[in-house]
Structure 1
Amino acid sequence: MGDEVMVVTTHEGVPQEFYGAKVIGSLSFPFPWYQKVPLSLALSPRIINEVKHFKPDIIHASSPGIMVFGALAIAKMLCVPIVMSYHTHVPVYIPKYTFSWLVKPMWLVIKFLHRAADLTLVPSAAIAKDLRQARVTAANKIRLWNKGVDSESFHPRFRSHEMRVRLTNGEPDRPLIVHVGRIGVEKSLDFLKGVMEKIPEARIAFIGDGPYRKDLEKLFEGMPVVFTGMLQGEELSQAYASGDIFVMPSESETLGFVVLEAMSSGLPVVAARAGGIPDIIPEEQEGKTGYLYTPGDVDDCLNKLVPLLHDAKLRETIGQAARMEMEKFDWRAATKVIRNQQYNAAIWFWRKKRTQLLKPLQWMVKLLTPTHRKLAAGDL
């Protein structure tokens, strides 16, 4: 398998090349319930031709949107193995954004897609368990996509006094709690109001944007809070590193990349014991690299949060241990595994399936084709 890569993505602001990979933009339209998410099927003749001429060894569909259908169609058209990664737990989000009756049909759609795929990659053991219980596809075709974090971009060296002043609204000496991520109703961010009411000495900064932002701003009105909106690049790195503690109340994270990034930035994390987070902070690491609390339990959350707020030395110890842990999980190591192991497994499954499908055809050909015996000396 060569090292050439082609990326097909949504059209807006796409460069022709990204880190050596050829990038193809596809026309998109906004998601009805969340306008900032562009959707694209990526099935135009232009894109099909681009992929055909590229001659891929494998197609990896890494999108929670409808582009996954386009990727599947192209893979079947061109007879190429396809890997799908499942990193947005859509059935959990449906009741919060649309109608509960859509949950069952969505599971049917997920089953259709992943049974058609040659391998499904998931970011955590918890999600692998959910998919196996739902019998989404064969258990041996669900594999863990090892966690990876950019440990250079998310680093304690990005701590900045100016950013801290900005995140604390001019009160840099007060303890600062940080949350980074999409501000959606499913993220359980309203839970943090009850927490902040019990610790008036602390401030909180929400970095990110989303459909629930206005409601959350109203909920936190008059409280020591800052909403920065979306931050990117060095500003985002500074925002992480300039906080004291990172909180993660979401109960629906398939992995929680923001938790990896916070730990890589040297922040102690206090997170809900749910979804993929216990994969990042396993039981034996609790109290060493971070803390987990019972989802929805304000008192349990405060029991983990308050000692960190009042003890700078404890924050430093946990933050350093978290940073050291994340140095083991950089993207290079994660990419090596997916390229050398997971993609090869997908190709093997694809070949096996192809052989099984061709068997009846080969049997029919044998049946219909007359065989000519070699004449032996005794036949003359």
Structure 2
Amino acid sequence: MKILCVTPYLGKSYGGTSKVVTEIAQELGSFNCNIDLITTNANDKNILDVSLNTWIDNINYRVQYFSCWHRSDFIFSLSLIKWLYKNVTNYDLVHTNTIFSPLISVVHGICKLQNIPYIATLHGMLEPWALSYKAGKKRYYYQFLEKPLLKQANAIHTLASSEAERVQNLGLSKTIIIPNGIHRQDYQILPNSDIFYQQFPHTRHKTLILFLGRIDPKKGLDLLAPAFAQAYQKFPNAHLIVAGPDSINFMPTATQYFQDVGCQDAVTFTGMLKGDLKLAALAAADIYVAPSYSEGFSMSVLEGMASSLPCIITTGCNFPEAAEAKVAHVVDIDAESITEALITCLQQPQEAKAMGMKARQFIFDNYTWDIAAKKLVRVYQQILARQNYALESICSN
């Protein structure tokens, strides 16, 4: 099969979607699929330093970047559209990523015009919080442009059962559920935690609570601040690590949250952590927390659980399976619930550690990229065979 994957961006400033797209492309390429990925050189306010209009080989797939006009996450590329119009018939199927993007809407339109089947991965963009954010602009765009094109997709790829249910309630069918994953080998043996402590020596000998995500309104730092402040009063050795990029200049607001509740001295903002430094932060941490209002399916939650950390996540993280398996504290989206879970983990470190170990095995058994790619290949095959496929039969094995 020749599969063309399309995403508006691969810049790290756009968060986990970029990582998800490249990880699944790499894994799909190991299942006898020819995977090409096209994107733009957008990177928030900047552009990526990459070669344009030429294929760049990666492990099991190749990528081509096109120049674009962009302002933050509003991205359009005429050169990509022209290339796609000329070349899309060379592929068996197109797989797009994200919505509320004019670029992706045009891609869907070209697929329909040239009778090429397409599958759309939403990445949580139809979650209630995401829809309410800048709702005025989204309402009309979705109703008159996005929804008609999604209805004509051969499949709509959701990342969690709760996301699929909400998408169906919006009048969209043909949903499939295939969660994100991790590479098992990356988390079997983590780097030495000293790599992190050497960069942030004041955190040594502290009980570290790790937040790993973009500095963004939807990530729930306004909830985490009062929750951590209350936990810190009871456990003064606790220290919060806030690790992630600030792509929308939200940092002043985020830091003010902690200043307002008087715990700023027990909080370290590290910026974005990469590679071994990020893995070392996971090794150094004692608790992982994700207080998010809305996620498609958080990569960092999987990383925290795969690192054997007791995890505190909100229902907005779209991971009810973690609650059912009792491998994480899945709490309501409010400061009081997050506070209670933090205090429980700090009061009962042995129980928290045991939950983290159980979480690690749960992720290894169910949420790896090879499992996700195997399911996705089956979806591609059944679409191309023009067969009706049932959600249960595709995604239960």
TM range, smaller chain: 0.7 to 0.9
2:37 corresponding residue in structure 1: 7
The reply to whether residue 144 of structure 1 matches residue 177 of structure 2 is yes
1:371 corresponding residue in structure 2: none
CA distance, structure 2, for counterparts of residue 128 and residue 150 of structure 1: 24
Task: Choose the corresponding residue for 1:256, options 283, 286, 298.
Answer: 298
CA distance, structure 2, for counterparts of residue 166 and residue 112 of structure 1: 50
CA distance, structure 1, for counterparts of residue 188 and residue 132 of structure 2: 37
CA distance, structure 2, for counterparts of residue 245 and residue 88 of structure 1: 25
1:187 corresponding residue in structure 2: 219
CA spacing shift, 1:228–1:155, aligned 2, 3 Å: farther
Contact 2:225 / 2:258 at 8 angstroms: preserved in 1? yes
2:16 corresponding residue in structure 1: none
CA spacing shift, 1:116–1:41, aligned 2, 3 Å: farther
CA distance, structure 2, for counterparts of residue 146 and residue 197 of structure 1: 33
**Pairwise CA RMSD of aligned residues?**
2.5
Task: Choose the corresponding residue for 1:60, options 82, 95, 109.
Answer: 95
Contact 1:177 / 1:244 at 8 angstroms: preserved in 2? yes
The reply to whether residue 334 of structure 1 matches residue 334 of structure 2 is no
CA distance, structure 2, for counterparts of residue 6 and residue 351 of structure 1: 26
1:324 corresponding residue in structure 2: 361
CA distance, structure 1, for counterparts of residue 160 and residue 63 of structure 2: 28
State the one-letter code of the partner of 2:245.
D
Count of paired positions? 334
Larger radius of gyration: 1
Percent identity, aligned pairs only?
20
Task: Choose the corresponding residue for 1:237, options 279, 282, 302.
Answer: 279
2:118 corresponding residue in structure 1: 82
For 1:176-325, what aligned pairs fall within 5 Å after superposition?
A: 176-200=208-232, 201=236, 202-210=238-246, 211=248, 212-221=250-259, 222-279=264-321, 281-283=322-324, 285-286=325-326, 289-298=327-336, 300-325=337-362
CA distance, structure 2, for counterparts of residue 154 and residue 14 of structure 1: 30
CA offset digits 1:320-341 (Å, max 9, x no partner):
111111111210111011002x
Contact 1:178 / 1:247 at 8 angstroms: preserved in 2? yes
CA distance, structure 2, for counterparts of residue 308 and residue 111 of structure 1: 43
SS in 2 for 1:223: helix
CA spacing shift, 1:9–1:124, aligned 2, 3 Å: same
CA distance, structure 1, for counterparts of residue 251 and residue 295 of structure 2: 19
State the one-letter code of the partner of 1:76.
K
State the one-letter code of the partner of 2:251.
R
1:26 corresponding residue in structure 2: 66
Contact 1:82 / 1:346 at 8 angstroms: preserved in 2? no
Contact 1:30 / 1:38 at 8 angstroms: preserved in 2? yes
CA offset digits 1:274-333 (Å, max 9, x no partner):
351213x132x22xx1111222141x3233222322444223211211111111121011
CA distance, structure 2, for counterparts of residue 306 and residue 159 of structure 1: 27
CA spacing shift, 1:111–1:46, aligned 2, 3 Å: closer
Contact 2:81 / 2:107 at 8 angstroms: preserved in 1? no
1:124 corresponding residue in structure 2: 160
2:44 corresponding residue in structure 1: none
Point out 4+ residue stretches in structure 1 off by more than 6 angstroms: none
Q: CA deviation at 1:350?
A: 8.6
